[in-house]
Amino acid sequence: MDTLQNMRVFVRVVEAGSFTGAAQHLNTTTAYASRAVSDLETHLRTRLLNRTTRRIALTEAGERYLQRCEQILAYVDQAEAEASDAHARPSGKLKVHAMTSFGQHYVVPAVGRYQERYPDVHIELTLAQRMPDLLDEGFDVSLTLATGLPDSGLVSQRLGSAFSIVCASPAYLEQHGVPQTPADLARHTCLQMIAPVFPPDKWTFDGPNGEETVALGTTPFQVNVAEAMVVAVRQGMGIGLIPIYSAISGLRSGDLVWLLPEYTSQEMNLYALYPSRQYLDAKIRTWVEFLRDELPATLAADHAELRKFARS
């Protein structure tokens, strides 16, 4: 028995004053309307309506039940309207994950610009190096940097790419000299970013001679967040391989020097991941569309600016 539908029929019968009137309004038969109310009464083991050949009248139990039905159906209608509106109008809380350094440099500013356009969306941003389980942890969208994606069943949108560059401080270079080729790095103190997708003991470069790999040997410092690596390199602790979005501020200020500008390393794709394409909530859809419009241009602008800092 469809209790909710039978409740709707019962309310309509009372409003219309007859089974025939209710059936006409619901575009069904009088027999269906009568059976729906009878099924409710059997289910409740209570008579709701007194019936004669000419009229119907609510029993005392029917009057109480009618009030509850009207309240329940109003809540159901409100819930359905809110759910349908979520598909059409961006609002509510959007729970977003992003990789730590990338999130600081690109996602936080994007949040501000997005909320200027959609002020009814409240974003809860979590920055973490790991890739979360979106369903178990309740994230709506994850912004992930990866060389490729496993078959997870999630929907993915590629938003661009980023890579790392070799940097050092002016003080370090003054004391230790400037490496001219990737092979020269073997004679320098190289600091290591810990990243699961890249080996811990070597750097691989793409350059004018194709792919080149440098063995690092023992490194005196390892860290898993790019901003901490920037601090170490600025302090003259050694040479670091730093993502461009973390390096560019230090390049602008002169605290960092870009070495081996013909070479890049650790290129990764940026993906927006979310659970489903079907009946996509408006806040998720507009957030992903916003990032797809904004981030490629922002990344391209940083790549273009980077050329100004190439050390001859």
Number of H helices, E strands in the chain: 11, 13
Angle between helices 226-234 and 244-253 (to 10 degrees): 30
Q: Which of 38, 59, 88 is the last residue of a domain?
A: 88
Do residues 36 and 66 both lie within one domain? Answer: yes
* pLDDT tens digits, 186-198: 899 999 988 777 8
The span from the CA of 14 to the CA of 65, in Å, is: 12
Is position 233 within any domain?
A: yes
Amino acid at 166: V
Do residues 197 and 256 both lie within one domain? Answer: yes
Residue 107 pLDDT class (50, 70, 90 cuts): very high
Higher pLDDT, 307 or 249: 249
Do residues 206 and 78 both lie within one domain? Answer: no
CATH of the domain at 210: 3.40.190.290
Rg (CA), the chain: 32
Whether residue 312 has pLDDT greater than 50: no
Q: What is the mean pLDDT of residues 113-124?
A: 94
Query: What pLDDT score was predicted for residue 278?
Result: 65
pTM for the predicted model, two decimal places: 0.69
* pLDDT tens digits, 232-291: 999 999 999 999 999 999 999 999 999 999 999 989 899 999 987 666 788 998 999 999
Domain count, the chain: 3
Do residues 101 and 137 both lie within one domain? Answer: yes
The region of weakest confidence among 91-100, 214-223, 276-285, 294-303 is 276-285
Is position 178 within any domain?
A: yes
The span from the CA of 179 to the CA of 185, in Å, is: 6
Range of the domain at 17: 3-88
Q: What is the mean pLDDT of residues 220-234?
A: 92
Do residues 180 and 299 both lie within one domain? Answer: no
Query: What pLDDT score was predicted for residue 77?
Result: 74
Query: What pLDDT score was predicted for residue 52?
Result: 75
